Chains A and B, each alone.
Chain A
Amino acid sequence: AQKVTQVQTEISVVEKEDVTLDCVYETRDTTYYLFWYKQPPSGELVFLIRRNSFDEQNEISGRYSWNFQKSTSSFNFTITASQVVDSAVYFCAPRDNTGTASKLTFGTGTRLQVTL
Chain B
Amino acid sequence: DQQVKQNSPSLSVQEGRISILNCDYTNSMFDYFLWYKKYPAEGPTFLISISSIKDKNEDGRFTVFLNKSAKHLSLHIVPSQPGDSAVYFCAASARNTDKLIFGTGTRLQVFP
Do chains A and B interact in one complex? no
